[in-house]
Amino acid sequence: MSITVTAEQFLARSIRLATANVLNSGGPFGAMIVTADGKTFDGVNRVTADNDPTAHAEVTAIRTACRELGTFDLSGSVLYTSCEPCPMCLASALWARVDRVVFAAGRHDAAAVGFDDAVFYEFFENQDRDALLPVSQLVLEDPSAPAPLEPFTTWNTLESRIDY
Ligand SMILES: [Zn+2]
Q: pLDDT tens across 22-62, in order?
A: 999 999 999 999 999 999 999 999 999 999 999 999 999 99
**DSSP single-letter state for residue 84:** P
Q: pLDDT tens across 71-93, in order?
A: 999 999 999 999 999 999 999 99
What is the reported pTM? 0.86
Which ranges of 70-164 does DSSP label H, i.e. alpha helix? 87-96, 107-112, 118-124, 150-156
In 16-131, the DSSP E strands lie at 30-34, 40-44, 78-83, 100-105
Task: Quote the ligand 1 centre to 56 CA distance (angstroms).
Answer: 5
Q: Is the pLDDT of residue 133 over 80?
A: yes
Active site residue 58: yes
> CA-CA-CA-CA torsion for 79, 88, 83, 7, nearest 10 degrees?
-10
Task: Quote the ligand 1 centre to 15 CA distance (angstroms).
Answer: 15
The yes/no answer on whether domain 7-133 falls in CATH 3.40.50.300 is no
Determine the pLDDT at residue 5.
Answer: 67
Closest among 19, 25, 63, 72 to 41, alpha carbons compared: 63
Task: Quote the ligand 1 centre to 79 CA distance (angstroms).
Answer: 12
**61 with 50: CB under 8 angstroms?**
no
Q: 58, 84, 125, 159: which is the annotated catalytic residue? A: 58
* Domain range list for the chain: 7-133
Q: Is the pLDDT of residue 2 over 60?
A: no
Task: Quote the ligand 1 centre to 123 CA distance (angstroms).
Answer: 15
